[in-house]
Amino acid sequence: MTSQKSSLPIDPARQKPLAAPAAAVAKEPKRQRGIARVAKLLDAAASVFAEQGYKAATMTEIAARAGAPIGSLYQFFPNKDVLADALVARYGEHVTAALDRIREQAPDLDGAALADSLLDAFVTHAAERSLALSLLDARWEQPGVRPGVLRESLRRQIAECLAAWRPLTGEDERQAMAVVLLQAMKSLAQLHEEKRYPGKTEALAQWRGWVRRYLSEF
């Protein structure tokens, strides 16, 4: 869980949270038992938000889903906004960690392997990404919620992976490639989450093959 001074991960390049924290902030657990409890509450919130949507979900239902007293939920998360922020933060942390690992491995990867690594970073967290975007979209009119900061942060991190992979590539070219790759990653994750598309397996294979070929040209 992120530091509760801001319940959302910071984009180091801009020193801005991925969305503005609510007026109330989550309480940071100090002990292992509290950390486990918070994780269970977040998992329950993710399930309820995904099933019912942000507006229809209630704190009572989330506490019940977690098998926790309502007071325990409010102890760590004073309101739904704080819960939503924490889930967006958790998604950002997971993808950032995946991209950090790719950046470290990038010098030893060929184009196809780098493509697979980047695509897998989004596919692995596809459901979490879908939820995070829906939570941002449901609250986009609220002051300080900035979905675009998440996109900018991901582009920057992908560009850093490319810089580690091909250090001689120019900055402008890396930035353009990062835009293309992020769009490809988002599209693959979205397709991966479709439930009833009969040609899904073949479409995923073709999309992945295109990204492999794209990077293999460099």
Q: Is residue 32 part of a domain?
A: yes
Q: Kindly state the greatest CA–CA separation across the chain.
A: 56
* CATH classification of the domain holding 155: 1.10.357.10
In the chain, the amino acid numbered 188 is: L
Task: End-to-end CA distance of the chain: give it in Å, rounded.
Answer: 37
Contact 68, 41 (CB under 8 A): yes
Q: Say how many domains are in the chain.
A: 1
Q: What range does the domain containing 146 cover?
A: 16-216
Residue range 139-178, pLDDT digits in tens: 877 655 666 788 899 999 999 999 999 999 999 999 999 9
Q: pTM (2 decimals)? A: 0.80
Write the DSSP symbol of residue 105: H
| Residue given tokens 């007293």 in the structure block | 69
Structural domain includes residue 50: yes
Is a pLDDT exceeding 50 seen at residue 19?
A: no
pLDDT of residue 9 exceeding 60, the answer is: no
Model confidence pLDDT, tens digit, residues 21-70: 444 556 676 678 878 889 999 999 999 999 999 999 999 999 999 999 99
Q: Looking at this protein, which amino acid is placed at residue 200?
A: K
- Quick one: CA dihedral 190, 193, 198, 202, positive or negative? positive
Q: Does any domain span residue 55?
A: yes
7: in domain:
no
Q: Which residue has the higher pLDDT, 104 or 145?
A: 104
Please check whether residue 71 lies inside any domain of the structure.
Answer: yes
